[in-house]
Amino acid sequence: MANPVREVFGGVGALMRGFGLLVRRPRLFLLGALPALVTSLLFLAVIVVLIVNLTDLAAWATPFADGWDPVWQGLVRGAVAVAAVVVTVLLMVVAFTTVTLALGSPIYDLIGEQVEKELGNAPEEFDEPLWSSAVRAVRQSLGIVAASLAVGVLVFAVGFVPLVGPVVGPVLAAVLGGWLLGIEMVAGAFDRRGMLTIGERRRAMGTRRLRVLGFSVPTYLLLAIPFVAVAVFPAAIAGGTLLARELLGVPEAPQPQAPPA
């Protein structure tokens, strides 16, 4: 059985290696950041509107607490406010990933292909009709967004539990939201190998859950910070390619040795 700590840090290491691979290609890194910047500006506006109206939203969602003792009323409405922020962030990170991947699809495909070539044993080009690929991508993205909505409902319900909810809710959102994010981040490497279904990705991810969460939970938390997400997103695409290769057991080709001095 794999060492749990090593598996978690191995997942974190995939994200760090993704940064390292792209730092050596600054132009590709900047190209990958552009779609993320556009999406970040849109989603930042949503977060600002939510925060400005958070108190009114919590009061609207808990009319039953209008006549309560101020202490209990504050606890319940505070828990609802925290849950609303957590759920919004959860949905936004998943939607951010979906929208950014759609906006920058050719760039992110190029990033994944460059990682594959550098590590060796890159797959042969998989030929899928453009229309079929587009329909499949839309269908799968809608499925992931629907799953994130279900997780959001669960997290919001947990948020109503006084004292415990504001702690458990964010942890639940990070783990489940990170898992959904991981499904999208490994997609490119699976698609290049003709493994086109979400079920195939989930089964491979299920063999090394801790490694996947070690990669996807930190990525999820970083993508929740709008302008940090601009730099993290292209690195996460590279890291997701690395992670997918590990899940599929693709060996790295030996690197050429420098000639002796």
Judge whether residue 1 has pLDDT over 70: no
Reading the block at residue 204, the tokens are 């491979």
Question: 121, 68 in Cβ contact below 8 A?
Answer: no
Give the helix ranges, DSSP H, for 68-206: 70-103, 105-119, 130-159, 165-185, 187-192, 198-206
The pLDDT value given to residue 260: 47
Reading the block at residue 189, the tokens are 């490497």
CA–CA separation, 83 and 166 (whole Å):
7
Question: 216, 181 in Cβ contact below 8 A?
Answer: yes
Per cent of the chain over pLDDT 90 is: 28
Residue with more model confidence, 247 or 104: 247
CA–CA separation, 146 and 94 (whole Å):
10
Judge whether residue 150 has pLDDT over 80: yes
Judge whether residue 73 has pLDDT over 80: no
pLDDT tens figures, 57-72: 888 878 887 778 788 7
Q: Which long-range contacts (CB under 8 A, 24 or more apart) does 197-201 make?
A: 198/140, 198/143, 198/144
Task: Give the range with max mean pLDDT: 88-92, 115-119, 193-197, 212-216.
Answer: 212-216
